Structure 1
Amino acid sequence: KEHRLHVDLYPGDRFFYFTTCGWMMWNWLVSGLASGATLMLYDGSPVYPDENVLFDFAAERGTQIFGTSAKFLDAAAKAGICPRKTHDLRSLRTLLSTGSPLMPESFDFVYGSIKEDICLSSISGGTDIVGCFVGGNPTLPVWRGEIQCRLLGMRVEVRDDEGVVLGPGEKGELTCSNAFPSMPVSFWNDSKGDRYRAAYFEKFPEVWCHGDYVATTQHDGMIVYGRSDATLNPGGVRIGTAEIYRQAEQVNEVVESLAVGQTWEGDVRIVLFVRLREGLTLNESLSEQIRDRIRQNTTPRHVPARVIQVSDIPRTRSGKIVELAVQRIIDGEPARNRDALANPEALDLFVGLSELQR
């Protein structure tokens, strides 16, 4: 269903997704064999010798379906490459992105610098289901900054904390209220099912709660604002971290950012960590530029109380930044599952920061 109908994958298509074997997207890619596709595999860095390397691969092999991450597209845009002018991408008809929310500016980059006549499908689901809840549709328009649609057979709804289904533009929890074939049915060493129910059905009985903070749109698409458990709550107002990243990472000097909420004086304040371009040092002028960008394009509540430079940001092996691990570190608690990280040593950069004490 996902490949044939939502991705527009045909027998004989050359199907590429940049992924490690440890990410669920590897399983998702290999499943393309069931549709008769030819899999395109790439082993190596996606940015060496530069950000053109995956487009070199796609052009040389005549790839029809090209899959990558939102972070890669952002890095390619910041590198200033323009594959539309330098590569023959006539065969390419679908570009897939997942791993984190795809920002509206990345839509601009794809259509302006990669290819004009392409279906850009931001997709979102989970390792738990080895599939998607929302994704692409080759028969629908692509709207800037939006995931096109809810997937067939998935009764995906947005709910508030009381379980009320919300309308377009109202932010809440991504839920699915019907069973589906790839839904896990149990956990190992959980004979009574307590951990299983707590993971998915504790918040809304009999309704799968996936843990993403989202909203539907007037086009019946969806926007993902981040993980629910990483949602910031200054002054009792819920803020998705992606709303902050979108603005902070538009500042030319900022390569990557990570936002967490720090308990402070009886409330929560937002702390934004930034990784800058090589050789740059954060000063008050750049800090204020980042804050101004966030303030002007969101709300005053989104503006971080502290902006702190770090040399690296911890991420999983599939490239997802880990806000919760950093949250635990700055709260003086040990981070869990360090072995699941691609760069666990990066967590040590957040220990005992003096900037967090004032």
Structure 2
Amino acid sequence: MSDRPPIKTPPAAKGRGTANNLAGRFAELSSSRESDGWQTEPDEPVRLITSATPEKAKSIIATNQSPDIPFSQSINPYRGCEHGCIYCYARPAHAYMDLSPGLDFETKLFYKPNAAELLEKTLRKKNYQCSPIALGANTDPYQPLEREKGITQSLLQVMQAFRQPVTIITKSQLILRDLPLLAEMAQENLAQVAISVTTLDNTLKRKLEPRTAGPSARLRTIEQLSAAGIPTAVLAAPMIPALNDSELEAILCAAHKAGAVRAAYILLRLPHEVAPLFREWLALHYPEKAKHVMSLVQQSRAGKDYQSDFSQRRTGTGVFAQLLQRRFQVAIKKLGLDHRRLDLDCSQFKPPAPPSAQQDLFS
């Protein structure tokens, strides 16, 4: 065993969720820093620039048959997410691209410029079976890059033209840019939105989700969406034992006052590389709580950091998980919030007439 002192975990780069660019689980080689005893303090974090690379997709709608997921179709306009949420369960997907689920996930982004074109072609296929499409199932469809690329907006425009129902999950105020479009779709029971609210504590938010809208901004977003007639839910997620789970009732109450009519929660999930990243984050920001937090996590995951079984991956098992579930049930009953997803109307789906060649000449 080496007598060299261990290197301290460097502070996360400003505005980033992690300080680590750990190798993905498929990487054949990895490297690590080791102290030679001369340097006693960690290096200053390097300023990181976000890059965005176009990815010409061959298909656009992903399907799933997972019994615990309330949709069968989804679209992810982006890979990676600049929001930098340390707990994001989408981080491990970057390993499939030989990139790190750590800083690479937050800084090396990919977008699908042909997404709307692909969606239109898919919706025109004779064998297409209409069911609601979820936006935001993996990474946030309204992350900062959307302001520049507008891919989510272009997808919504196609869906409106085809009268294709859509559900959206986001943390971002940017969704208000598309308020008129979503309001029109909602009037026809073709759209619903869920706003994720993880905490009402700005200090915790800045550490946990560094490049996201603050709690007050998210509540105002719920208020404006609801006022426009858009069915809006609050997603209290993730609930992290001994860190933000005490806020569950307060989050639900604040969202209800803002106009939310539905609610859901998800217990912290730590699949694959997310577990070591989250452990490192705890050690950096909450060292006094780290051991207790992870103890409760493992008590809710059969002694492990994570279990992927469909029957419990969103809610967990054990005493803590059962208590959290009971608290949620009592709170939504008291507030009059519904935990069921709204049934959108798929019967209206109708592909618009394609433009004729003659029309194209004059367009």
The TM-score with structure 1 as length reference comes to 0.31
More helix by share: 2
**Which of the pair has more CA radius of gyration?**
2
Greater relative CO, 1 or 2 (CA 8 Å, sep 6+): 2
TM-score normalised by the chain length of structure 2: 0.30
Instruction: Name the one with the larger strand percent.
Output: 1
